[in-house]
Homo-oligomer: A and B are copies of this chain.
Amino acid sequence: MLIGELAARTGSTTRALRYYEEQGLLESGRTASGYRVYGPNAETRVRNVRDLLASGFTIENVKSFVRYLDTDLPEVFAYSPACSDGYLVGAQRVAELAEKIAALTRLHDILVHRMPWLATPDDASRKEAA
C-alpha cells in the first residue's frame, strides 16, 4: 500500500502520514524508487493515532502509547488503566486542559467584568446559579 491509499483508507492526508512518521509514530518500507510502502497493520495504527489526537492527546502524548498502537485501542482503554504510563499521560493531559480552560475562563471573566454589557445569556445564567 502506498501513502495515498493509506491516507484515503484512514481519512487523513499524505502530509499527516509523513508527519506521523517524522514523529516516530509510524513506520514504512520503501520501494526501489523511494516510495513509502505500508503493511496492513499501518491502517490500525494510523486510526489509533488519529483517534487519540481527536480525543485530546497531543502528538507528544501519543508517543507514550506507541507500543500499543498496533492493536485495537478500545480494547486497551476498556479495562481501567491498562498501562500505568497511559494513566499518567492521560491524567497529565486532563490537568493541562483543565488549566488552559481555567486560564481562558479567567480572561473571559475579567473581560465580562470590565465590560458587563458584553455578558452573554450563558454568562447571566451562570451568574444566577452562583
Binding site for B on A (CB under 8 A): 54-57, 77, 80-81, 86-87, 90-91, 93-94, 97-98, 100-101, 104-105, 107-108, 110-112, 114-115, 117-118, 120, 122
Contacts and interface: CB of A to CB of B under 8 A. Distances in A.
Contacts of A97: 104, 107-108, 111
Contacts of A91: 118
A94 B118 contact: yes
Contacts of A80: 117
Contact of A90 (B77, B94, B105, B111): B111
Sorted from nearest, which 10 A-B pairs have the closest CB atoms?
Answer: A56-B107, A56-B111, A97-B108, A90-B115, A101-B104, A94-B118, A90-B118, A55-B110, A91-B118, A100-B104
